[in-house]
A and B are shown apart, each in its own frame.
Chain A
Amino acid sequence: DAKTTQPPSMDCAEGRAANLPCNHSTISGNEYVYWYRQIHSQGPQYIIHGLKNNETNEMASLIITEDRKSSTLILPHATLRDTAVYYCIVRAWGGSQGNLIFGKGTKLSVKP
C-alpha cells in the first residue's frame, strides 16, 4: 500500500504558485520523498526528490517539514501544461525496498 496521503484534486490559476501537499507520517529514516507527475496519456515524469532538506530544481521546489511527516511540492508559476496527476511517493534508496509504489495522487487542474 502507498505510504502517502494526498488530496484527490486541486485547482490553480495560471501564473500562480501551485502548492501540493503530501502527508507521510509513517516515513522511515532511510526513505526519501519523491514526486512524479503524469500528464494525460503519457508515462509518469520524475519531478524532484528529497530526504530532509528542501530541494529546488528547474521544475519545482520541495519543502519537507522538520519532522519529515509531510511535504509540499511547489510549482512557482503554474502553466496550463502543468495540468496533470501528481504523485508523492516515499521510497527507500535502492533494492526492492526502493520500488516505486503509487498512490492515487492529486489531480491538479491549472485554469486560465
Chain B
Amino acid sequence: SAVISQKPSRDICQRGTSLTIQCQVDSQVTMMFWYRQQPGQSLTLIATANQGSEATYESGFVIDKFPISRPNLTFSTLTVSNMSPEDSSIYLCSARDSGNEQFFGPGTRLTVL
C-alpha cells in the first residue's frame, strides 16, 4: 500500500493568512484527493487533485479559497486562503493507486485564531 506523508502535521495560524499543506506519496498514484474533517465530524471531500490541470471541486468548495496543485504523480499541495476560525479542521490527503485502493495521510491539524 502507498505511504502518504503530510507537512506540516499541525499549525496555528492567524486569521486572514494562508497556509499551504504538502502531500507526498511514496509511489506513483492515479488520483489524489483532499478531505476536511471539522471537529467531531466525519470527513468531507474537498476536491480531486488532477495532474496538469485544474482540480475538480466538490459542491461548497471553490478554487479561490482552496487552491490545489498537482505537479506530478506523487505530490500535491492544498492552500487554505484568507483563513478564518471556521477553517480550523484536520486536512487529509488521500491517494488512489493503480489497483483502485485508496489510502490516507496522517492529516494536518489546523487551528486558526
The secondary-structure label for the interface of chain A is loop
B79 at the interface (CB under 8 A from A): no
A43 touching B56, Cβ below 8 Å: no
B33 at the interface (CB under 8 A from A): yes
B105 touching A99, Cβ below 8 Å: no
A101 at the interface (CB under 8 A from B): yes
For residue A104, which residues in chain B have a CB less than 8 angstroms away from its CB?
A: 42
Given contacts A99-B45, A102-B42, contact A43 B1 (CB under 8 A): no
**Cβ < 8 Å to B, chain A residues 33-58:** 41-46
Stretch at the interface among A17-25, A63-71, A75-83, A90-98: A90-98
Given contacts A96-B56, A102-B43, contact A43 B48 (CB under 8 A): no
B1 touching A46, Cβ below 8 Å: yes
Interface size on A, residues (CB 8 A): 18
Chain B window 94-113, contacts with chain A (Cβ cutoff 8 Å), 1 for yes, 0 for no: 10100011111111000000
For residue A100, which residues in chain B have a CB less than 8 angstroms away from its CB?
A: 33, 45, 94, 102
B107 touching A98, Cβ below 8 Å: no
Q: How far is the CA of A93 from the CA of B100 in the complex (A)?
A: 7
- The residue from A87, A94, A99, A103 contacting B33, defined by CB atoms under 8 A apart: A99
Closest to A93 in B: B100
For residue A93, which residues in chain B have a CB less than 8 angstroms away from its CB?
A: 100
Residues of B within 8 A of A (CB): 1, 4, 33, 35, 42-45, 48, 56, 92, 94, 96, 100-107
Q: When A and B form their complex, which 9 residue pairs have the shortest distance between CB atoms, in order from nearest?
A: A43-B104, A102-B43, A102-B42, A44-B104, A43-B106, A104-B42, A43-B107, A43-B105, A43-B92
Residues of A within 8 A of B (CB): 41-46, 87, 93-94, 96, 98-105
